[in-house]
């Protein structure tokens, strides 16, 4: 656990008692603060009280008297589409609002570091798609290279739940826009921006607000190095803002869409080959095609971002390549769950939006595509150009019929995962891929995308075992 710093004797209000909220409460208590906790869910309050935390209704009059600041869990809106009433009350009382990410960055460094040979470093990864894989891949490469490392944030452990840093350690954080938009302190040593596509637009008041939330990691934090995907206009704009000129190697540009020119530092993947360029010359090259844990162009972009980050941390190309080859992949992200009778079965339940689903569809041939769920804002038009390899779509979800009519491929309305898996497997031939890439949220039928992916995997394996 990371004890909170600068809070000794302070009263700190805390709204939201999920994983990150409880970790924050423990951190505050360890730092000498008096946390005043609240969650609308009585079960969450019961769990907090079982750990000895005082729960007080932050909606009552006078709740923010003598409170130093409000710590807000990431899922709770503070501005759009409408601020939570507790946030409104805090701001009306002049009480600052922060989150666990801000508290972490204020608390991570300690006096113990003065005795370290190598100062610990923080890598923070954000973007619309690929940030989980990129974060996990960086952590995996560091571990394989015998560098002390921890993985936290939007993946794995909460940021305040990790262990205090040891000499030379690297902490890799996956940060969502919900986390970067509010943190009052953001000071990573290396910041990574994978890509940008429409998502969470209601929460951010539109695409501009969404990009602004991601951009704060760079503009507020002033990282020593910035790894930036430049295949979208926003990425190119961000890279231009961070660089002093074309040759500024504090910015490493990443692309899978085309060749990057100029005297700067870049990492590009084309036709399955990753190429590092520095000062106009090729510095290294890796063949990504045989690496099973990183299939498809979208994973090649993740590999480029991870490669650039690890190079900035001083790792040699051959060490990074060895990490690539042993990387097993993340569950629910282009995860190969079975291969039988010449048919490949892939779980990409994390493909919850159009852009991530399109990338999954581009990674495999002869696809029997299981899709559908709670459709997100913007519709499915963006999938049209990515369905060239789709033989047939098997649509699930409560609104399967409405989802199916938007697709430009042969479709069958299945409704449930069980029926979709059964139909896809019965029609699959050698050389086909049965792919779950929903292009939708899971909440109409499942608690989360992990549960949806686990259901797909279980039903595939049950039928193969018959």
pLDDT tens figures, 132-186:
999 999 999 999 999 999 999 988 789 999 999 999 999 999 999 999 999 999 9
Q: Cα–Cα distance between 357 and 457 in angstroms, integer? A: 18
pLDDT number for residue 330 = 87
pLDDT > 90 in the chain, percent: 89
Q: Cα–Cα distance between 342 and 348 in angstroms, integer? A: 19
Tokens 């709770």 correspond to: 76
Q: Cα–Cα distance between 126 and 140 in angstroms, integer? A: 18
pLDDT number for residue 329 = 86
Query: Is it the case that residue 377 has pLDDT exceeding 80?
Result: no
Name the superfamily (CATH) of residues 11-98.
Answer: NAD(P)-binding Rossmann-like Domain (3.40.50.720)
For domain 335-465, is the CATH number 3.40.50.300?
Answer: no
**Strands (DSSP E) found in 16-100:** 34-38, 54-55, 67-72, 97-98
Burial pattern 275-292, b for ≥16 Cβ within 10 A else e, equals bbbbeeeeebebebeebe
Query: Is it the case that residue 219 has pLDDT exceeding 80?
Result: yes
260 and 266 Cβ atoms separated by less than 8 Å: yes
The reported pTM is 0.88
Q: Specify the length of the chain in residues.
A: 466
Which parts of 145-224 fold into alpha helices (H)?
177-180, 201-204, 207-219
Compare 293 and 276 and report the one with higher pLDDT. Answer: 276
The mean pLDDT of 249-255, rounded to a whole number, is 97
pLDDT number for residue 156 = 79
**194: nearest Cα among 376, 359, 386:** 359
Q: Cα–Cα distance between 459 and 219 in angstroms, integer? A: 46
pLDDT number for residue 345 = 96
Query: Is it the case that residue 378 has pLDDT exceeding 80?
Result: no
> From the centroid of its chain, how far is CA 247?
30
pLDDT number for residue 258 = 85
Which CATH code is given to the segment(s) 108-326?
3.40.1190.10
pLDDT number for residue 255 = 98
pLDDT number for residue 239 = 97
pLDDT number for residue 75 = 87
pLDDT tens figures, 45-77:
999 999 999 999 999 999 999 999 999 999 899
Q: Cα–Cα distance between 83 and 74 in angstroms, integer? A: 13
347 and 327 Cβ atoms separated by less than 8 Å: no
Mean pLDDT taken over the chain: 95
**71: nearest Cα among 52, 87, 92, 54:** 87
266 beta partners: 253, 277
Q: Cα–Cα distance between 464 and 466 in angstroms, integer? A: 6
432 and 367 Cβ atoms separated by less than 8 Å: yes
pLDDT number for residue 165 = 97
Radius of gyration in angstroms for the set of CA atoms belonging to the chain, rounded to a whole number: 23
The mean pLDDT of 307-321, rounded to a whole number, is 98
Annotated binding site: 127-133
Burial pattern 439-452, b for ≥16 Cβ within 10 A else e, equals bbbbeebbeebeeb
Instruction: Report how far apart, in Å, the C-alpha atoms of 71 and of each of 20, 193, 387, 445 are.
Output: 11, 26, 44, 31
Q: What is the DSSP letter of 13?
A: E
Per-domain residue ranges of the chain:
11-98, 108-326, 335-465
Tokens 């689903």 correspond to: 357
Q: Cα–Cα distance between 193 and 131 in angstroms, integer? A: 8
pLDDT band at residue 466 under the 50/70/90 scheme: confident
124 and 188 Cβ atoms separated by less than 8 Å: yes
pLDDT number for residue 273 = 97
296 and 334 Cβ atoms separated by less than 8 Å: yes
Burial pattern 66-91, b for ≥16 Cβ within 10 A else e, equals ebbbbbbbbebebbeeebbebbebbb
The mean pLDDT of 188-197, rounded to a whole number, is 96
pLDDT number for residue 221 = 81
pLDDT number for residue 226 = 98
pLDDT band at residue 292 under the 50/70/90 scheme: confident
pLDDT number for residue 198 = 83
Annotated binding site for ATP: 127-133
Query: Is it the case that residue 228 has pLDDT exceeding 90?
Result: yes
pLDDT number for residue 381 = 86
């Amino acid at each position: 656990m990371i004890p909170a710093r600068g809070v000794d004797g302070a009263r700190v209000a805390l709204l939201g008692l999920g994983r990150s909220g409880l970790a924050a409460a423990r951190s505050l208590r360890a730092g000498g603060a008096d946390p005043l906790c609240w969650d609308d869910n009585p079960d969450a309050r019961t769990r907090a009280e079982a750990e000895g935390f005082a729960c007080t209704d932050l909606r009552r009059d006078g709740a923010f008297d003598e409170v130093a600041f409000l710590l807000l869990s990431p899922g709770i809106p503070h501005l759009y589409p409408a601020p939570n009433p507790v946030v409104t009350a805090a701001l009306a009382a002049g009480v600052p609002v922060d989150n666990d990410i801000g508290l972490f960055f204020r608390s991570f460094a300690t006096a113990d570091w003065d005795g370290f040979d190598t100062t610990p470093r923080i890598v923070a990864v954000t973007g619309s798609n690929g940030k989980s894989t990129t974060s996990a891949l960086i952590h995996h490469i560091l571990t394989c290279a015998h560098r002390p490392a921890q993985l936290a944030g939007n993946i794995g452990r909460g940021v305040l739940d990790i262990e205090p840093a040891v000499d030379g350690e690297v902490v890799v954080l996956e940060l969502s826009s919900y986390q970067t938009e509010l943190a009052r302190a953001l000071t990573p040593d290396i910041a990574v921006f994978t890509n940008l596509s429409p998502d969470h637009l209601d929460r951010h008041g539109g695409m501009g607000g969404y990009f602004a939330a991601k951009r704060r990691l760079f503009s507020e934090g002033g990282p020593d190095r910035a790894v930036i995907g430049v295949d979208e206009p926003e990425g190119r704009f961000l890279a231009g803002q961070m660089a002093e000129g074309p040759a500024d190697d504090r910015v490493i540009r990443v692309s899978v869409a085309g060749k990057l020119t100029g005297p700067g530092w870049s990492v590009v993947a084309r036709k399955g080959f990753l190429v590092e360029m520095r000062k106009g010359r090729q510095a290294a090259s890796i063949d990504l095609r045989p690496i099973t844990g990183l299939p498809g162009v979208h994973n090649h972009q993740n590999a480029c971002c991870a490669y650039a980050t690890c190079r900035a941390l001083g790792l040699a190309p051959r060490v990074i390549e060895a990490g690539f080859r042993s990387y097993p992949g993340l569950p629910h992200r282009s995860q190969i769950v079975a291969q039988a009778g010449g048919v490949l079965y892939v779980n990409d339940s994390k493909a919850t939006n159009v852009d991530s689903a399109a990338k999954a569809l581009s990674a495999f041939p002869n696809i029997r595509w299981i899709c559908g769920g709670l459709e997100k804002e913007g519709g499915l038009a963006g999938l049209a150009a990515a369905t060239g390899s789709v033989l047939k779509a098997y649509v699930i979800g409560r609104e399967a019929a409405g989802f199916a009519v938007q697709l430009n491929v042969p479709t069958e309305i299945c409704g449930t995962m069980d029926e979709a898996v059964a139909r896809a497997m019965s029609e699959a031939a050698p050389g086909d891929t049965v792919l779950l890439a929903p292009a939708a949220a899971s909440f109409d039928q499942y608690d989360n995308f992990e549960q949806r992916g686990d259901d797909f995997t279980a039903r595939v394996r049950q039928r193969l075992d018959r």
